[in-house]
Amino acid sequence: MFTWTKRILQIAVLFLFYYIGEAIQAYFSLVIPGSIIGMLLFFLLLTAQVIKIDWVEEGIDFIIKDMPIFFVPVTVGIIQYFDFFYGKGIIMIPSIILSTIFVIAIAGLLTQFTLKNGDNRNE
């Protein structure tokens, strides 16, 4: 029982940072999603050791393990847009695949180039 109370509290931390992020976004009218602001804030506090990783990791690892379940309802929403893929929307599929190939190739090549030609004193 104690394990579950702890996990729920640790997961509540995510909600807390999310709402703080949303509040910051709204207050400054930023274009970045509040969730990202909350994540960066949480990361900073972890790095600064203000929040110790072992205070939060168990519940968060639990929720990360099955993360895709949270995407199911919104993805099921595609049921409303079948018309899109029956029509010319179908060309979005090869376009996305092509764009994905570009990203892998260019990011990979430039990373490799930087690793080989840059300052490698850390290796």
* List of residues 6+ apart from 42 with CB closer than 8 A: 13, 14, 17, 51
Of the two residues 1 and 67, which places its CB atom closer to another protein in the complex?
Answer: 67
Shortest gap between Cβ of 91 and another protein (angstroms)? Answer: 6
Of the two residues 2 and 66, which places its CB atom closer to another protein in the complex?
Answer: 66
Shortest gap between Cβ of 9 and another protein (angstroms)? Answer: 13
Of the two residues 5 and 85, which places its CB atom closer to another protein in the complex?
Answer: 85
Computed on alpha carbons and rounded to an integer, the radius of gyration of the chain in Å comes to 21
* List of residues 6+ apart from 40 with CB closer than 8 A: none
Shortest gap between Cβ of 37 and another protein (angstroms)? Answer: 9
Of the two residues 2 and 65, which places its CB atom closer to another protein in the complex?
Answer: 65
Shortest gap between Cβ of 68 and another protein (angstroms)? Answer: 4
Cβ contact 1:56 at 8 Å: no
